[in-house]
Structure formats: structure tokens, C-alpha cells
Amino acid sequence: MIRILTDSTADISIAEAHELGVSVVPLQVNFGDDHFQDGVDLSMERFYDMLAAAEKLPTTSQPSPDLFLAKFNEAKAAGDTLICLLLSAALSGTCQSAEIAKEEAEYDNIYIIDSKSASLGLDLMVRRALHDIQIGMCAAEIVTDLEAAREQLRLFAVPDTLKYLQKGGRLSAATAFAGGLLGIKPVLAVVDGKLAMADKARGLPGAYVAIFKQIDKVGGIDENWPVNIGYTGKRHGVEPFAHYVTNNLHLQQPHVAPIGTVIGTHAGPGACAIAFFSKEISAE
């Protein structure tokens, strides 16, 4: 039997993980001296309320190797193969914790894959792995497919405000202030596992157009796989994405879900995002 394990930044709820048969290891979210297990004792709704009220940005801590080791030992005892799809190693030490646990488990049938993504993107990787299992792929074939697929995984986001990017040191205070006055909206992307600025535009409508151009630039959306659309905090700004996917590209209705703590910490409440597999690897 092949098992799938991911971490809480995939933003898969406890109930949905149980329904899908996926194990989830939580990261820790820290607001000063208050520590929470992401997705376990800190809901997304509460997180965004706390984020809006916080003077300093929260931090996140990777899961301990012991949390992974418990899951690895379960798979070992059952003689199962375990495929771990985890948050980008460029954003967190989560993969490192899993590698330490694998050494301690002394079990070869554990595959650890750096998704090079987070949130909506990581969720797509998990669902692709489940699809691969369903169609009868062996573990080696699934790993090969996932490692190729992550190179075509795209995630673009538009924050509602530049304040959180400035707080996190990703924009200078002067740039954030000027951008706020001019109504500039940055277009963020996850590139090589890191959060990067892909473009910028005047106002939210301009940001949507910029993302649609980015979609064309990477070869368009691969219609063989689902599209994820997400938002931080209250549902906001996802309708233009959904309209573009269904009416302009004539693809199936995308999956809409809230975005969790990792990207949410930097983007802040009110951001919207889209994740998908592109048809071809961009030449960037």
C-alpha cells in the first residue's frame, strides 16, 4: 500500500484529510509567546483575525523530526510505502526534519519530495499523487511524475495591501507607502520554491490582467489537471479568476479554498491567488 503524507501548509482540513486518506503533519505558528499547531488548534479564521491585530508578523516553525518519525514508523510497521509531499525547502526546514526522521526510521520505502510550493500549489501536488495511486502507478513512477510536475506548478497571488510585505521585509517602507498612494498591486509568484515579485499593476483589475499574461507566458493551463483558486481571510477577489478559467479558457470549474498561514503571513488578509500546472515549462 502507498500512503501520502503532507504538512499543514497544504491547507487541507483535518476532515478532508481523513476523507482523502492523507496524513498531515502540522507546522507551528508563533504569535510572540503564544504557540499554535497550524490547522489543529489554530483555525484559518482565527489566524487572520490575529494577523490583522498583530503589531509584528507571526513566525512559523517546522515540525519536529519526532512528528514525522511517528508517521514513518507506522508505515514501516505496516510494510507500506510512504510518499511525503512537503512545503518548499526554500521557505521552511520542514523537508529537513523529514529527512532526519527518515534516517532514524531506517526504512527505505519513504520518499520525501520538496514540492517547491505551498498552500494551493502543495494541495495540487497531493491530489496529483492520489490520482497517480488511483490509476495504479507504482511508487517509483509516482515520484518521477511528481518531480516532473513540480517544474510545471505555478502559483500567482495578488495581495490587498503592501503593508504585510513591508512588515516582513520584502518591500521597503518607502516603496510600500508610494505603492499604496498610487494603488500599485504587486503580482507575487512562487519561483523555485521562493516567494518573488512577478509583476506589478495599477489597481486590482490591472493585477488580474498581469496574471492572465503570466499564465500565457508559462504556456497556459494544462486542462488535464484541476485549477486551485484561493483567498486569505474572508473570501474576496476570486470571481475574476474563476470567470477567466471557465469562460475564457473553457476549463472545468476550479476548486476554491482559503489560503493558510505561510503565504497568508506575507500577503496579509484580502489576497487572492491561483495555482495550476502549466502546459509547458517556461523558458525563464
CB-facing half-sphere around the CA of 88: CA atoms within 13 A: 20
For residue 54, with 0-12 CB atoms within 10 Å meaning exposed, 13-18 middle and 19 or more buried, which class applies? Answer: middle
Which amino acid appears at position 244 of this protein? Answer: Y
**What is the pLDDT at residue 175?**
53
For residue 244, with 0-12 CB atoms within 10 Å meaning exposed, 13-18 middle and 19 or more buried, which class applies? Answer: buried
Q: 107-144 burial, b if ≥16 CB within 10 A, otherwise e?
A: bebbbbbbbbbbbbbbbbbbbbbeebbeeebebeebbe
**What is the pLDDT at residue 265?**
84
Q: Taking the CB of residue 241, how many other CB atoms lie within 10 A of it?
A: 24
| Nearest-10 Cα torsion for 229, 158, 154, 50 | -70
Q: In what order do the strands lie in the sheet with 194-202?
A: 194-202, 184-191, 153-158, 272-277, 228-231, 255-258
User: Model-level pTM?
Assistant: 0.92
At 148 the three-state DSSP class reads helix
Please give the C-alpha separations between residue 123 and each of 20, 52, 62, 186, in angstroms, as whole numbers.
12, 25, 18, 24
**What is the pLDDT at residue 282?**
42
**What is the pLDDT at residue 177?**
53
Say if residues 268 and 259 touch (Cβ distance below 8 Å).
Answer: no
Q: Cell for 216?
A: 500565457
What does the pLDDT profile of the chain (284 residues) look like in tens digits?
999 999 999 999 999 999 999 999 999 999 999 999 998 998 888 999 999 888 888 988 999 999 999 999 999 999 999 999 999 999 999 999 999 999 999 999 999 999 999 999 999 999 999 999 999 999 999 999 999 999 999 999 998 877 777 666 655 555 555 555 567 888 889 999 988 888 889 888 999 999 999 999 999 999 999 999 999 988 888 999 999 999 999 999 999 999 988 888 888 899 999 999 999 654 44
CA distance 28 to 5: 17
